[in-house]
């Protein structure tokens, strides 16, 4: 009876061992499948990234080329605009130079005509005195008396000539002084009697020829 019980006990132990071994084997197999699946997924993802990398680099190269082409186009347009502006300025400069030469030519002709007429007319002493007083007052009122002085004046019947000379301490800004003086002279009420006026100057002196006839 005891032998039979031991045999049954041994049989149960053997069955239990087989069951445990089978369970462990199945568990290890499932674990291997589960653990290997993520590795395969990671490897697959890495391969996908590696395969896509050339495509990404190629796209960046194409974008850079497109940007460079756009910048070159904009630069070319800017150069064309600058050339057009330069050409326009060159034309304006030539026109200004031509107008200046024409004005200088007309001024020389006017000076010659006034000089000839001045020599032909008789002196007008009364008018000379009146103009001398007007010019002297002008220099004092406009604060030019310390910088320039009236050094010559002579009037005929329709034409007067007078000369202003700069003082030594103001000789360095003679051209500026003559421009300012000339502008203010043309604003004087008594200056409006002159229909024609011409002037020649350098840093030291300025000479006016004025006429009441146009």
pLDDT tens digits, one per residue of 59-101: 777 778 888 888 888 888 888 888 888 877 767 665 555 444 4
Residue 44 tokens, joined = 């697959």
Strands (E), 104-213: 148-155, 159-166, 196-201, 205-211
Q: How far is CA 7 from CA 10, 19, 29, in A?
A: 5, 18, 33
| Rounded-to-integer distance, Cα 159 and Cα 214, Å | 11
Question: At 195, is the secondary structure helix, strand, or coil?
Answer: coil
CATH architecture of 123-211: 2-Layer Sandwich (3.30)
pLDDT at residue 108 greater than cutoff 60: no
Q: How far is CA 177 from CA 49, 100, 167, 181, in A?
A: 81, 22, 11, 6
What phi, psi does 113 have (nearest 5°)? -65, -45
pLDDT at residue 103 greater than cutoff 60: no
- Specify the pLDDT at position 203: 86
| Rounded-to-integer distance, Cα 115 and Cα 120, Å | 9
Measured in whole angstroms, how far is the alpha carbon of residue 75 from the centre of its chain? 16
Non-local CB neighbours of 147 within 8 Å, separated by 6+ positions: 166, 167, 169, 170, 177
3-state secondary structure 42-79: HHHHHHHHHHHHHHHHHHHHHHHHHHHHHHHHHHHHHH
| Rounded-to-integer distance, Cα 69 and Cα 74, Å | 9
Lowest model confidence (mean pLDDT) among 15-19, 79-83, 101-105, 204-208: 101-105
Non-local CB neighbours of 144 within 8 Å, separated by 6+ positions: 138, 177, 181
pLDDT tens per residue, range 38-60: 545 445 555 555 455 556 777 77
- pLDDT band at residue 11, thresholds of 50, 70 and 90? low
């Amino acid at each position: 009876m005891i032998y039979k019980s031991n045999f049954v006990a041994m049989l149960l132990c053997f069955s239990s061992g087989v069951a445990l071994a089978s369970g462990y084997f199945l568990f290890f197999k499932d674990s291997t499948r589960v653990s290997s699946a993520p590795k395969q997924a990671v490897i697959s993802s890495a391969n996908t990234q590696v395969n896509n990398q050339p495509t990404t680099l190629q796209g960046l190269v194409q974008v850079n080329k497109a940007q460079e082409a756009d910048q070159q186009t904009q630069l070319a347009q800017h150069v064309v605009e600058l050339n057009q502006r330069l050409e326009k300025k060159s034309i304006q400069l030539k026109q200004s130079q031509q107008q200046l030469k024409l004005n200088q030519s007309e001024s020389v002709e006017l000076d010659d005509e006034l000089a000839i007429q001045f020599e032909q007319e008789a002196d007008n002493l009364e008018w000379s005195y009146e103009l001398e007083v007007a010019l002297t007052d002008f220099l004092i009122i406009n604060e030019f008396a310390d910088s320039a002085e009236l050094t010559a004046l002579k009037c005929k019947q329709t034409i007067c000539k007078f000369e202003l000379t700069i003082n030594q301490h103001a000789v360095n800004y003679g051209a500026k002084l003559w421009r300012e003086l000339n502008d203010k002279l043309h604003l004087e009420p008594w200056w409006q009697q002159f229909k024609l006026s011409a002037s020649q100057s350098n840093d030291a002196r300025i000479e006016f020829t004025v006429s009441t006839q146009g």
